[in-house]
Amino acid sequence: VRRIWPLEAAHTEETVYWSALLGAAELLLGGTTAILDMETVRHTGAAFLALERIGIRAAVGKCLMDAHPEGAPLELAESTDNALAEAEALAKRWHNGGGAGGRLRVCFAPRFVPSCSGPLLRAASELAERFDAQLHTHAAETIVERETVLRTTGLEEIAYLDSVGIAGPRAALAHCVWVDAHETARLARQGTTVVHCPSSNLKLASGVAKVPELLAAGCRVAIGADGAPCNNRLDVFAEMRLAALIQKPRLGADALPAGRVLELATLGGARALGLEAELGSIAPGKRADLVVLDLHEPHLHPAMGDLVSLVVYAACASDVRDVFVDGRPVVLGHELLTVPIEEIVREADRAAAELHTAAQLG
């Protein structure tokens, strides 16, 4: 809060553009072809332009927040009407074929319950239904958040989100660390996707989501990274390995096996995007979003037996050789083809320096 919110509030259209390009470059070079992305409150159009240029597949949402949680800068406050009007305008411009031939879509993205009014959350759900789009928010990340929502709404967080329409196959809830058995059962009944972000949860000391219990109850689960400031990496291989390992001290060595983890990172992610019929596996009729790994490095040898375990426990983002989105090569031979990486790094460093100065962080 002391650093992220002041930096976020200082963003300009230009800094959002280079920030989005930098993140997308890291993702593509590391083998991620499609993302569900909550942007900041303003300048989301600049992020769309960046993602259109670089070639990643994405569902992008303007961050919606019309309340003012403690510690949030006033620059991040918006009226309910203004927030919804801009989100709707973005959907009209970019959704359902308007963005890079369908490669880019809109999602509706309330930040989290403490920063959103009930009317905003209900309207976001209605817009998602109207535009046939996904919903994305953060939920039950910390015990403080859980207690705050219970105190202010009188309901447990998952029940409250259900009451305002943030639930069901359209909805992807990041974290869900602090959910009990009743909330887990509700998530399963709804068909809501839980996006497990293990690195972020550990870095911020939020806790460890009980993913095996979520899966056993029938919940849909995907793997995510949260934002780079809460993680420092956008690396699906790091998240897969950590997701597999952190459950084992509690539940034993067989908890969350490699094959299941890989499924969460592929088909699980496609479900979070509402695109499981098009993405997430190699099958006839699905889009050619493909990743090729270079298996020549010593840490991947001997490459014998269970290749899925090799990918989950040993592979790194730097092992990604080629990446295709919709059959189009965007990375070949470890090199990004769409935007010069030197330009991205140079301009992103410059933009970061401007942000730090504007946010008075030195």
Domain holding 66: CATH number?
3.20.20.140
Which residues, 6 or more positions from 309, have their beta carbon under 8 angstroms from its beta carbon?
Answer: 258
3-class secondary-structure state, position 108: strand
SS3 320: strand
- Residue 57, classed as helix, strand or coil, is strand
Q: What's the confidence (pLDDT) of residue 35?
A: 98
Q: Which run of H or of E encompasses 37?
A: strand 34-38
**pLDDT tens across the length of the chain (362 residues):** 678 888 889 999 999 999 999 999 999 999 999 999 999 999 999 999 999 999 999 999 999 999 977 777 878 889 999 999 999 999 999 998 777 889 999 999 999 999 999 999 999 999 999 999 999 999 999 999 999 999 999 999 999 999 999 999 999 999 999 999 999 999 999 999 999 999 999 999 999 999 999 999 999 999 999 988 889 999 999 999 999 999 999 999 999 999 999 999 999 999 999 999 999 999 999 999 999 999 999 999 988 889 999 999 999 999 999 999 999 999 999 999 999 999 999 999 999 999 989 888 65
Query: Cα–Cα distance between 52 and 147 in angstroms, integer?
Result: 40
- The alpha-helical segments, DSSP class H, found in 246-290 are 248-251, 258-265, 267-272
Q: CA angle, corner 270, sides to 266 and 276, nearest 5?
A: 115
Give the total number of structural domains in the chain.
Answer: 1
DSSP-based three-state secondary structure for 218: coil
Q: Which residue has 């919709």 as its token pair?
A: 326
pLDDT at 1: 63
Residue closest to 241 by CA, chosen among 221, 265, 220, 217: 265
Rounding to the nearest 10 degrees, give the CA dihedral for residues 71, 153, 274, 204: 40
Length of the chain: 362
Q: In 3-state terms, what secondary structure has residue 165? A: coil
- C-alpha distances in angstroms, 32 versus 26, 27, 131, 287? 9, 5, 26, 14
Read off φ and ψ for residue 81, nearest 5 degrees. Answer: -65, -45
pLDDT at 5: 82
Q: What is the DSSP string of 180-232?
A: -HHHHHHHHHHTPEEEE-HHHHHHTT-----HHHHHHTT-EEEE----GGGTS
- Its pTM stands at 0.96
Residue 121: domain span: 4-358
